[in-house]
Amino acid sequence: MSIQSKFSKLGTQNAPGQEGRQSAAGTQDFLRGEKLDGIPVDFSHGDVDAHEPTPGAFEAFCAGVELGGAQAYTEYRGDLSIRDGVAAKLATFTGAEVDANDGLIITPGTQGALFLAVAATMMRGDKVAIVQPDYFANRKLVEFFEGEIVPVQLRYRDAAQGQAGLDLTELEAAFQAGARLFLFSNPNNPSGVVYSADEVADIAALARRYGATVIVDQLYSRLLYQGVSYTHLRAMDIDPENVVTIMGPSKTESLSGYRLGVAFGSREIIGRMEKLQAIVSLRAAGYSQAVLRTWFNEPDGWMADRIAQHQAIRDDLITLFRGIDGCFVRTPDAGSYLFPQLPDLTIAPADFVKALRMLGGVTVTPGTEFSPHTANSIRLNFSQDHAAAVAAVERLSTLLDRYRA
């Protein structure tokens, strides 16, 4: 394999946030009708101007700068006193002990944590069970490290409310075929479904039976909508050395600009992750680490308000999508992603995504990023200005009519 072909699998052309690098060449072949007026909305990521960073985050950063060298140069796994505070909060949140000294690492974003966790748990040629659909980097990470992906379907369309719809038979078959690593997001990105207590218990039981390691990305596990309960895998009956949990304050808390994530759990894997972080990025930005002092420490009522605002946007957008003929969307249990399936169109879904951006000022992420089976779905991060998001989905509806098959 040449390095060119290795990197060709890591395409970022359709990745969220990279749309500005796309060429407009060829789009005249399928652009139809006039541009639609309205405030442009970039659903490829959340709008941290509409939903501002946690109160106190900036002040915590400034205090870190004030502290100087001690905050700029931390251990590679992050400052110990900050790890102490975060570990205690995460133990309470997840319902299982977190070892601040050896069982937690602070990383540059949850992406940094995911990269290190995968690199520290698989070798070239290893089989890795990956959910379809799931966060696009999961697949790319396994490909980059030359592993073999064993897909496990998430039948979120057909699952009962309260179930994510993981095909547990396929997961067991993956383990039987030799996979010893399972990587998944809960809540699922892109569909927003939360795995039920039974599903999480079944994953734990299978991991136990086959001695498999599980990496679970719980980035959105704090933003749960009314009536939804959440089960933490690490609190189940499972060898704690076989679980790595990944979280971070970038999404719900709108702290993306500081690039912070954490991975916690298995001491051995966290130890390897730190060794690798030493040559990947040394550490999460020292001053930024100080912002973690505000995490799980938000003002009273702040999180409830944030959830209520997102639930209101979710509900309005769901109503709009349900009014579009031929469109399917499941109501997300958590997080800020919608993953509607579009009706049949006269152009390729990838071209519709471009037309939507060029004619409607609406940026979404194509479904192919998440699974080969969801090409006719799109992902929207609805952590946006409420009115602008509603208007943008109305423009999307208008444009669907222009291209409807």
Window of 105-113, 164-172, 228-236, 305-313 that interacts with a copy of itself by CB under 8 A: 105-113
Task: Provide the token pair at 385.
Answer: 């200005």
Residue 283 touching a copy of itself (CB under 8 A): yes
State the amino acid at position 259 in one-letter form. R
Q: If binding is defined by CB under 8 A, does position 178 make contact with a copy of itself? A: no
328 binds a copy of itself (CB under 8 A): no
Q: Which residue number, 65 or 308, has a Cβ lying nearer to a copy of itself? A: 65
Residue 349 found at the interface with a copy of itself (CB under 8 A): no
- Is 70 strand, coil or helix? helix
Q: Whole-number minimum distance, CB 145 to a copy of itself, in Å? A: 10
**Residues facing residue 381 across a β-bridge:** 337
For residues 131 and 147, give the distance between their C-alpha atoms in angstroms, rounded to a whole number: 15
How many chain residues bind a copy of itself (CB under 8 A)? 67
Task: Pick the closer one to a copy of itself by CB: 70 or 197.
Answer: 70
158, 252, 186, 163 alpha-carbon torsion, rounded to 10°? -30
Q: Which helix (H) or strand (E) holds 91?
A: helix 80-94
CA–CA distance, 43 with 400 (Å, rounded to integer)? 17
Q: Residue 29 CB, nearest distance to a copy of itself (Å)?
A: 25
Site string for a copy of itself, 153-172 (x = CB under 8 A): --------------------
Q: Using an 8 Å Cβ cutoff, are 62 and 269 in contact?
A: no
Q: For residue 106, which of 130, 75, 128 has the smallest C-alpha distance?
A: 75
| Residue spans of beta strands (DSSP E) within 47-116 | 104-107
- The answer to the question of residue 276 lying near a copy of itself (CB under 8 A) is yes
Is residue 43 a contact residue for a copy of itself (CB under 8 A)?
no
**Is residue 72 a contact residue for a copy of itself (CB under 8 A)?**
yes
Residues 220/251, Cβ–Cβ less than 8 Å: yes
- Which residues, listed in sequence order, are joined to residue 377 by a DSSP beta bridge? 341
CA distance 250 to 178: 34
Distance CA 106, CA 284 (A): 6
- Among the listed residues 49, 198, 344, 401, the single contact to a copy of itself using CB under 8 A: 49
The answer to whether 270 contacts a copy of itself (rule: CB under 8 A) is no
Q: Is 387 in the site for a copy of itself (CB under 8 A)?
A: no
Q: Using CB atoms within 10 A of its CB, is residue 347 exposed (0-12), middle (13-18) or buried (19+)?
A: middle
Task: Please check whether residue 337 is in contact with residue 192, taking contact to mean a CB–CB distance below 8 angstroms.
Answer: yes
Shortest reach from residue 3's CB to a copy of itself, in Å: 5
Taking a C-beta distance cutoff of 8 angstroms, is the pair 374, 133 a contact? yes
What is the smallest separation between the CB atom of 101 and a copy of itself, expressed in angstroms?
9
Q: Does 141 bind a copy of itself (CB under 8 A)?
A: yes
Considering only 24, 25, 69, 160, the residue that binds a copy of itself (CB under 8 A) is 69
3-state secondary structure of 130: strand
Question: Among 14, 153, 281, 397, which residue sits at the site for a copy of itself (rule: CB under 8 A)?
Answer: 281
Q: Which of residues 293-312 bind a copy of itself (CB under 8 A)?
A: none
Which residue of 115, 175, 264, 382 would you call a contact of a copy of itself, by CB under 8 A? Answer: 115
Binding site for a copy of itself (CB under 8 A): 1-3, 6-7, 10-12, 15, 17-18, 20-21, 45, 47-49, 52, 58, 61-62, 64-65, 68-69, 71-76, 80, 107-109, 111-112, 114-115, 120-124, 137, 140-141, 144, 256-259, 272, 274-276, 278-288
